[in-house]
Amino acid sequence: MRKRANQEDQPLSQSENGSSRREFLGRLAAISAGLTVATPLARAKQAVGKSAPKAPSKTESGLMEVSLKINGKNETLRIDPRVTLLDALRDRIQLTGTKKGCDHGQCGACTVHIDGKSALSCLTLAVMARGKEITTIEGLAKGDELHPVQEAFIACDGFQCGYCTSGQIMSAVACIQDGHIGSDTEIREFMSGNLCRCGAYPNIVDAIKMAAPKMKGGVA
């Protein structure tokens, strides 16, 4: 296992071999952080009626028609009521940036924003998310321009394997937006629902502190 960077390390220091590794990690992060949204993805779209009902409507097969607003875009799905928002995002809308970790609300990998608040997509039924504004990791970047928190995670090495990173970034954005950046302790408390088995916690705290001033102009 790679030795984790100490808190004392300069976030952007170029250690031996650091440059190439960082470039690689940068690319990895860009993928993890959802830059692939710039590439057109084949989206499984259902035929959308012109006046999709706001309330989910039952179909004969027991499936329900549900309209979801994801990253500003309306998506209409025909789904079994058992489908969680997480599975709808990943398997129906091909937004795979949101990760499935424990699938029981314990790890935070599936964190998205629902009406501006961080929430667990694995414990949210898609049918119950209708009419709400849903933001996923893919909705943070503006084209090729990364969100300040995404940039800061790369700059501070806020991850190793990257699996928890989407959820960490979504919680980190909420942490700054909700104003819980008064101290490291406050940041850690706000972020405690996001587990990182690689142990990148100190660097995640650094990334939040680095990104916070850049978000004050109403970015994101």
Partner 1 sequence: MRAFTYKAPSSFSDAGEAGKSNFIAGGTTMIDLMKLEVMTPEQLVDINHLPMRGIEFGNEGLRIGALERMSAVAAHADVVKNYPVISEALLQSASTQIRNMASMGGNLLQRTRCGYFRDVHTPCNKREPGSGCSALDGENRMHAILGTSSSCVATHASDLAVALVALDASIRLHHGGSTRLVSLDDFYLLPGETPDKETKLKPGELITEILVPRSPWSQRSTYVKIRDRQSYEFALTSIAVALDIDGNQIKDARIAAGGVATKPWKLPRVREALIGKPLNEQTFDAAAKLAGEGAKPLKQNGFKVELLQRTVTRALMKVGGLA
x/- binding map, residues 50-69, to partner 1, per CB under 8 A? -----xx-----x-x-----
By beta-carbon proximity to partner 1, the closer residue of 28 and 63 is: 63
Which amino acid is located at 199 in the chain? G
Element (H, E) at 187: helix 184-190
x/- binding map, residues 80-119, to partner 1, per CB under 8 A? xxx-x------------------xxx--x--x--x--xxx
Pairwise CA distance, residues 179 & 162, whole Å: 25
Among 23, 38, 189, 197, binds partner 1 (CB under 8 A): 189
Pairwise CA distance, residues 32 & 10, whole Å: 23
Give 125's DSSP letter.
Answer: B
Q: Which region, judged by CB under 8 A, interacts with partner 1, from 6-14, 149-157, 169-177, 204-212?
A: 169-177
Pairwise CA distance, residues 121 & 201, whole Å: 22
Tokens standing for 157?
């090495």
The residue ranges that bind partner 1 (CB under 8 A) are 55-56, 62, 64, 80-82, 84, 103-105, 108, 111, 114, 117-120, 122-125, 127-128, 171, 174-175, 188-194
